[in-house]
């Protein structure tokens, strides 16, 4: 039953698939396009998004946790690889291998534990390694990698499928860190491949794809761009918008005298203005940080938010609408093709990623054809 009384979140799977093809087209010859579907496909619903990407030809799926991987394994055919970006907890190695998941390992010790656990069970399961090329988050240092390369027995026993690293500044093409990380990763890749020639290399996230062919290596790992976030901030967005969010108006009111609106009385509505209170607040992912700055959308125009965002509602100034439009107004859109995740993120002082992953669970979700 389609019950959109508490808001309608529309996810366009066709647009996700088209975005996948746009990214794949940009890749250098010989590079494959994977897909990052962690955090429930950035909040959009992995159960629908991942199979749609598989149908478009994606075979390399990246998720954050083992639990996400186990869920995804049941959704995809066996020929899809599922790589767990935050690795495997100590003692869970065999469970991970038996679930058909490929962990990303960050230290030589983790690789040894993986190989030993699998050997004790009589199996040889694929894994991947991460090298830190300059972000100083996850991954082994170049020195640790070099140390690992002296452990020939371990490398022979391991089935290392992939070496990856992550860019810290891919969305700033002019940042000198990009070239430094590229060089560091290239060197690490050459050293590992000299001993393990079967290893594939992966560096680029969404924005990394737009840094040029040098960054593509064997597999790209886009996430946000698949879901419509602009991978090239400051330039026109090459991706299609994927989400639309429409909230029901639960009260319209005329303000006869200048009145403060919402908690803290932080902002005033002018005498003679019309307001609409929409059912959707910070518990639904309408970030409170955009209070007084953000906007909604109706009748082809932006409508300013007034006052703070509440837990379950937010207030919009609809004075700019004609009387007929006002009377007919039933919903306010807070995300659409015009009012993009990137624009809304700007009002809240955050990034599109946080808008998507924060989308609430009280909306009715509708998926458009894939």
Ligand X SMILES: *Cc1c(COP(=O)(O)O)cnc(C)c1O
Nearer to ligand X among residue 62 and residue 274 (C-beta): 62
Nearer to ligand X among residue 126 and residue 291 (C-beta): 126
Gap between the Cα atoms of 309 and 298, Å rounded: 18
Q: Which residue has the tokens 């040894």?
A: 112
Contact between 224 and ligand X (CB under 6 A)?
A: yes
311 is in an annotated binding site: yes
Find out whether 315 and 262 touch, Cβ atoms under 8 Å: yes
Interface mask (CB under 6 A) for ligand X, residues 21-60, using x and -? ---------------x-x----------------------
Options 110-118, 215-223, 316-324, 361-369: segment touching ligand X (CB under 6 A): 215-223
Gap between the Cα atoms of 352 and 340, Å rounded: 9
Contact between 181 and ligand X (CB under 6 A)?
A: no
CB of 170 to ligand X, least distance (A): 7
CA distance to 4, 89, 252, 303, 319, per residue, from 327 (Å): 20, 57, 9, 15, 12
The two tokens of residue 156 are 């022979």
Contact between 133 and ligand X (CB under 6 A)?
A: no
CB of 253 to ligand X, least distance (A): 41
Nearer to ligand X among residue 229 and residue 303 (C-beta): 229
263 given a catalytic annotation: yes
252 given a catalytic annotation: no
239: DSSP letter = S
Interactions with ligand X, residue window 78-117 (CB under 6 A) = 85
CB of 366 to ligand X, least distance (A): 24
**First CA to last CA across the chain, in angstroms?**
20
Gap between the Cα atoms of 234 and 238, Å rounded: 12
Gap between the Cα atoms of 140 and 147, Å rounded: 10
Nearer to ligand X among residue 136 and residue 150 (C-beta): 136
Find out whether 222 and 241 touch, Cβ atoms under 8 Å: no
Candidates 24, 221, 308, 326: give the one binding ligand X (CB under 6 A).
221
Q: With CB under 6 A, what is the number of residues at the site for ligand X?
A: 11
Options 6-14, 69-77, 216-224, 292-300: segment touching ligand X (CB under 6 A): 216-224
CA distance to 17, 22, 115, 219, 339, per residue, from 228 (Å): 11, 12, 39, 20, 12
Binding interface with ligand X (CB under 6 A)? 36, 38, 85, 166, 205-206, 221-225
């Amino acid at each position: 039953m389609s019950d959109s009384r508490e808001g309608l979140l529309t996810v366009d799977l066709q647009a996700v698939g088209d975005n996948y093809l746009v990214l794949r087209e940009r890749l250098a010859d010989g590079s494959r396009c994977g897909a990052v579907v962690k955090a429930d496909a950035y909040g959009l619903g992995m159960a629908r998004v991942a199979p749609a990407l598989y149908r478009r030809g994606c075979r390399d799926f990246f998720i954050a946790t083992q639990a996400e991987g186990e869920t995804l394994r049941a959704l995809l055919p066996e020929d899809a690889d599922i790589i767990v970006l935050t690795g495997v907890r100590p003692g869970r190695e065999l469970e991970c291998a038996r679930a058909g998941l490929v962990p990303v390992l960050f230290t030589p010790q983790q690789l040894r534990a993986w190989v030993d656990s699998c050997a004790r069970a009589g199996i040889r399961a694929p894994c991947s390694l991460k090298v830190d090329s300059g972000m100083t988050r996850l991954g082994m240092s170049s020195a640790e990698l070099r140390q690992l390369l002296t452990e020939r027995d371990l490398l022979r026993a391991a089935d290392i499928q992939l070496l990856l690293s992550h860019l810290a500044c891919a969305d700033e093409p002019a940042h000198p860190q990009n070239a430094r990380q590229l060089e560091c990763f290239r060197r690490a890749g050459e050293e590992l491949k000299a001993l393990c020639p079967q290893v594939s290399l992966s560096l680029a996230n969404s924005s990394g794809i737009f840094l040029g062919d040098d960054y593509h290596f064997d597999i790209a790992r886009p996430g946000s761009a698949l879901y419509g976030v602009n991978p090239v901030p400051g330039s026109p967005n090459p991706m299609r918008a994927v989400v639309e969010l429409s909230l029901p108006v639960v009260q319209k009111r005329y303000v006869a005298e200048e009145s403060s609106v919402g908690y803290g009385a932080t902002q005033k509505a002018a005498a003679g203005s019309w307001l609409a209170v929409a059912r959707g607040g910070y518990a639904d992912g309408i970030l409170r940080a955009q209070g007084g700055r953000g906007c909604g959308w109706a009748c082809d125009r932006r409508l300013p938010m007034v006052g703070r965002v509440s837990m379950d509602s937010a207030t919009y100034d609809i004075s700019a609408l004609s009387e007929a439009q006002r009377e007919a107004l039933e919903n306010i859109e807070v995300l659409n093709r015009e009012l993009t995740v990137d624009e809304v993120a700007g009002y809240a002082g955050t990034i599109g990623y946080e808008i998507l992953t924060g989308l609430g669970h009280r909306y009715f979700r509708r998926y458009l054809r894939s």
